[in-house]
Every structure is written in structure tokens, then in C-alpha cells.
Amino acid sequence: MSLFDDPSHNDRPATVLVRGFVLHQGWLDRPAQEAMVADLRAVIAAAPLFSPVTPWGKPMSVRMTSAGKYGWVSDRRGYRYAANHPAGTPWPPIPESVLSVWRDVVGAVRLPECCLVNFYGEGARMGLHQDRDEADFGQPVLSISLGDRARFRMGGTERGGPTESVWLQSGDVMVMGGPARLAYHGIDRIDFGTSDLLPRGGRINLTLRVVD
Ligand code: MD3
Ligand code: FE
């Protein structure tokens, strides 16, 4: 069993480096996670989760919404950053509890313009992909995991190369910068019911990005 296979790592806060990804395990304590979930309930009330379809018409298993200047949307017209929710309303502001993680971890020169909220119910996953819809790949991306633990897979910058995986747990914060910014990554599966943070189970991942 390697360090990265140990799902009890939240007992031992640590920063680990995997393939250029900086993973801060247990960055948020339980009260901070609960406060963030409360803020996200308000975001989801203003901008309800929706089920995106790929440009090829295949439904994604992850449900999504966003906060900030831009939200990430995918439909038969393609995937892109958009200034409005599919319902036509502007996205709510990024909660202060979320922005403060960015400031503390990234030490912000620029603040994020998009907070993508991904919700993983039982069986949801996300295939290997690159994030390259942003203007400046020199800006880092930050991810916050809440709820059930998930198997995160990461590769290099070429499709089809070797990959490794690591468990992401509730309260973990990961930063992708430098060469890792363009690495292939995805979520193999979540371990449904492994956290009691969300009363009905599942996982929320927040991804903070500078877009322009
Ligand atoms: C590596 N989300 O929304 S977060 C995504 O858990 C996405 O929901 C996953 O991949 C999730 O695009 C993984 C970790 C992550 C986020 C953005 C990245 C890893 C990244 C951008 C570049 C490289
Ligand atoms: Fe991604």
C-alpha cells in the first residue's frame, strides 16, 4: 500500500506532490467545509445544477453550475465559458469562503473569474481530458474537494501516456500550475457514502480558474 492508497490521510494533514500537482490534504477542517457547503447551497439556489451534454450529444454524469464572471457550459453547440447560466441569468458571485482559499494557497495576483461547481452523485465520473479553454495557461487552477472521496487520475501532457491516481478527500485542496496545468486528468469514480458532509451523499468539486 502506498501513501496515495491510504484513504485515512485526513488524519495527517500533508502537502504531497504528484506529477507536478500540489495536493494539500486536509486543508479545510470540518467547520470550514460545512461553512463552504452552506455558501454553495446559496449558489445552487441562484444557479441550479444542470446536466450538461457533450457537443456529441452524450449526457455527462456530473451535474454542474458555476459562480463568478464566467461559468463553464457544454451543450450541442460546444463547450465554452459563458456569462450566463443556461436559464439566462448571470452567475452568482464566488463566495468569500472560496476566494479566501485561493488567496491563501495561490497568493493571488489575479483572482479567479470562474468557480465551476461539479456535483458527483453515485456512479458519476469524468473522463480523462485537458483544461485548455482559458486564455493564459500561466495562471494556476485550484480545486477543492467536498464530500465523498474520489479516485483522481492524472497523466502527462500527451494523451495515452502513463497515468497515476490519488484519492481526493473532503477538505483537500489541489493546485495545478506549471507543466501540470496542461496535464490530462479525470475522476475514475467516487466512493459513494464515504463522507457524511453532504446529507444525501455524493461529492462536490470546486474548480477555480482565471479565464481571460
Ligand atoms: C489539472 N474536475 O472540472 S478537479 C474539471 O474533480 C475537472 O471535478 C475534476 O477536471 C473534478 O475540469 C478534477 C482537479 C483538476 C481541475 C482542473 C485541472 C485538475 C486539473 C486543470 C488542469 C490540470
Ligand atoms: Fe479538468
Enclosing domain of residue 45: 16-148+164-182+193-209
153 in Cβ contact with 188 (< 8 Å): yes
> Global pTM?
0.93
Give the amino acid at 150: A
140 lies in some domain:
yes
pLDDT value of residue 178? 86
The Å distance, Cα 6 to ligand 2 centre, comes to: 24
What CATH number should be reported for the domain holding residue 20?
Answer: 2.60.120.590
pLDDT value of residue 164? 93
The Å distance, Cα 185 to ligand 2 centre, comes to: 6
The total number of residues shown for the chain amounts to 212
Q: What is the residue with the minimal CA distance to atom 13 of ligand 1? A: 186
How far is 188 from 113, CA to CA, in rounded Å? 27
Sheet holding 63-68, edge to edge: 14-18, 21-25, 173-176, 141-147, 203-209, 114-120, 63-68
Q: Quick one: which atom of ligand 1 is closest to the CA of 62? A: 8
Number of domains in the chain: 1
pLDDT value of residue 71? 98
Give the H or E element holding residue 57: none
203 lies in some domain:
yes
49 lies in some domain:
yes
Which residues does the chain have with pLDDT short of 50?
A: 1-3, 8, 10
pLDDT value of residue 2? 46
39 lies in some domain:
yes
Mean pLDDT of the chain: 92
pLDDT value of residue 12? 55
The Å distance, Cα 128 to ligand 2 centre, comes to: 8
21 lies in some domain:
yes
124 lies in some domain:
yes
